[in-house]
Chain A
Amino acid sequence: MRIELEDISFGYKKHPVFEHIRFSFDSLQFVCLIGPNGAGKSTLLKCINGIHSPTGGKVLADGEDVQKMHLIKRAEIFGYVPQFTVANPSLNVLETVISGRMPRMQGRASAADVEAAEEILTEMDLEDFALRSMNQLSGGERQRVLIARALAQEPQVMLLDEPTSNLDMHYQLETMELLEKTVREKQIGVIAVIHDLNAVLRFADLVLLLNKNGLYASGRPEDVITENTLAESFEIISTFTQAAEIPVMVPLASNKTRRTKQ
């Protein structure tokens, strides 16, 4: 699927979040959105799947304006894992994953919907949690269940807002591997907001770097995540090394610290 961001802007009244983003890409890859806090990564994600209406421009999915699509059609194309886990987590894990079938059920969950949810839980090693209430899970476990729910949607593209933010090192790595597998084996595109730049360097196919002025850089991870771009967008001093043939970014200091020392 071709995703086209056609001169997208978004803002609240007179406060623009980002302006005039133009970019198009094939969604069947692991795309990471990176950038400092407040750059509008989450907002851009919500503009892509139509949760937010851009204040200017439009998002096209295979040439079709996402905003003009029916809600169900959008949900068939885009799966979504929110940044903050559920406010009132009242269902059990299996029922939460079944609810991901919503765009594909006709008002009621069929045996096939239940079976699809069970299959995903098993695939994600969540079978021990299946009948536990969501409010008995840790933040990280809930995050994984919400990824399972998005997979149950059988979308063409999955959008994830900081999917690894609540996870320990083991599950961070496992989640990134799962997302990579989702792209390579399930043929579902992934667009994720990720803060861990080393994970981005390790897994992403394409990176969009946003800063306070909009889209600052885009391309392959090693071309986008450089000492210069990090100094300008994140205001940090960094250096790079290699480990197991993977580039590793080492943050040294914030620009502010450097200035203070000088």
Chain B
Amino acid sequence: MREKQHEISRAYARLRRRKALLLLVLTAALVILATAAVFLGTSDIHFSGLVSYLFPDWGVRHGIVPLTGTQIVIVLTLRLPRIISAVLVGAAMGICGTVMQSTTGNVMASPFTTGISSAAGLGAAIGILFHPLGIGNTSVVVCAFGVAAINAAVVYGITAAGNLGAGGMILVGVALNFLFSSANSLLQYVASEDQLSQIVHWSFGSLTGLTWSQILLMAVTLGVAFVLFGKQAWSYNIMSSGGDESAKALGVNASRVRIASGILVTVVSAVTISFVGVIGFVGIVAPHVARLLLGSEHRILLPASSIIGALLVLAADSIGRTVISPVIIPVGVVLSIVGAPLFLYLIISRRRRSSF
């Protein structure tokens, strides 16, 4: 009996090590891709030039010309912010998608299931058309965040008051989604050509023009959310593998966890959307890819879906800004074009494999 128990222990330890190793490989891939992305783009910036800039003696010895001041400005003000935001946006969408899928028991759920993307879209349209806080990006960001927050208050307020459960919450989200989309269409109908172009461009999702302060805010929000989500890993394990009644019998107040997690997802998504627009596909796909590669245990799944989300957005953005350079294809468009076939491949190949 004791020997059999040790066998399970050893096998489980091996499985955990294998998953940790794969997580490490994914992290290394993200670091490598992020580093490579610094040197992708229309401006001719090479790794050796950067090393020569940082270590002039080494550059002189090897006869390598260091980057110019302009190139350094491009790296610091254009490429680095873009790469870091791609990583943060992808990580945020990945982890929020996982949390939404686990707490609603719906594999098609995403951070936008509760209608937040159309709410933020309406807010952005209001900002672009009426610029209540003056002409410029601030109006768009604040209005997008504000309407998204109102949407969340309505969805979670109705869900809690009516004790509607996961299914009811999704239906309330669907209803609000239609409401906000219609209001957005109405605004587009009365918008000028220039305003309409801005609204449509916003809806594509773009990583261009983010400031360091916006990036810092995204990073802090995501960091706090990451810790709080992590504390609920076992609650998510239980909620995703049984209904609310089973969770309750194990001491987990499923409706409270669902609403608290949903509000946190809303805050993270609203901050992200208000800065970069709607980048949707990754919130559904990253959790699925993470599950296919690393299983459904949330202590691993939460970081894994973040890293995979970051990888997907960063890869899509890198493709989008190099494939028909100097034209930049919006990251949301690339994600759907590249991500959908990849996702289909993973689903089909999973059927051929046994368990992980």
Contact = CB atoms under 8 A, between A and B. Distances in A.
A90 B250 contact: no
A72 B237 contact: no
Residue of A46, A78, A79, A127 most packed against chain B (CB within 10 A)? A127
Residue of A80, A96, A99, A134 most packed against chain B (CB within 10 A)? A99
Contact of B355 (A79, A92, A127): A92
Given A95-B297, A107-B231, A122-B1, A89 B249 contact: no
Nearest to B250: A102
Interface stretch (A1-9, A113-121, A182-190, A227-235): A113-121
Contacts of A261: none
A87 B9 contact: no
B295 interface: yes
Contacts of A51: 245, 248-249
Q: Is the interface of B mostly helix, strand, loop or mixed?
A: helix
A114 B12 contact: yes
Contacts of A131: 8, 11-12, 15, 355
B253 A89 contact: no
Interface string B234-251: 110110111101101111
Interface string A90-133: 11101110011011010111000011001101110001001111
A119 B5 contact: yes
B107 interface: yes
A127 B7 contact: yes
A88 interface: yes
B4 interface: yes
Contact of A105 (B9, B234, B245): B234
B291 A90 contact: yes
A68 to B, nearest CB: 15
A246 interface: no
Interface string B1-33: 100110111011001000000000000000000
Interface in A62-100: 71-72, 74-76, 78-80, 82, 86-92, 94-96, 99-100
A158 B15 CA distance: 31
A164 interface: no
A95 B5 contact: no
Given A99-B250, A122-B1, A130-B8, A88 B15 contact: no
Residue of B231, B237, B249 most packed against chain A (CB within 10 A)? B249
A143 interface: no
B237 A80 contact: no
A127 B251 contact: no
B242 A127 contact: no
B274 interface: no
A14 to B, nearest CB: 19
Nearest to B13: A114
Given A99-B237, A136-B355, A72 B251 contact: yes
B174 interface: no
B241 A49 contact: no
B253 A71 contact: yes
A88 B248 CA distance: 16
A87 B234 contact: no
A74 to B, nearest CB: 7
Contacts of A105: 234
Interface in B314-339: none
Contact of B8 (A46, A87, A122): A122
Contacts of A87: 105, 242-243
A96 to B, nearest CB: 6
B283 to A, nearest CB: 18
B295 to A, nearest CB: 7
B250 A103 contact: yes
Given A91-B296, A105-B234, A122-B4, A130 B12 contact: yes
B252 interface: yes
Given A79-B249, A94-B8, 18 more contacts: A74-B249, A75-B249, A75-B250, A78-B249, A82-B249, A88-B105, A89-B241, A90-B240, A91-B237, A99-B237, A102-B234, A108-B233, A109-B234, A127-B4, A131-B11, A131-B15, A133-B296, A136-B355
29 contacts: A51-B245, A74-B251, A75-B249, A75-B250, A76-B251, A82-B243, A82-B249, A86-B246, A90-B296, A92-B295, A92-B297, A92-B355, A95-B297, A96-B241, A99-B234, A99-B241, A107-B231, A115-B9, A118-B12, A123-B1, A127-B5, A127-B7, A127-B8, A131-B8, A132-B355, A133-B355, A133-B356, A136-B355, A153-B250
Interface of A: 46, 49-51, 71-72, 74-76, 78-80, 82, 86-92, 94-96, 99-100, 102-103, 105, 107-109, 114-115, 118-119, 121-123, 127, 130-134, 136, 153
Interface of B: 1, 4-5, 7-9, 11-12, 15, 105, 107, 231, 233-235, 237-238, 240-243, 245-246, 248-253, 291, 295-297, 354-356
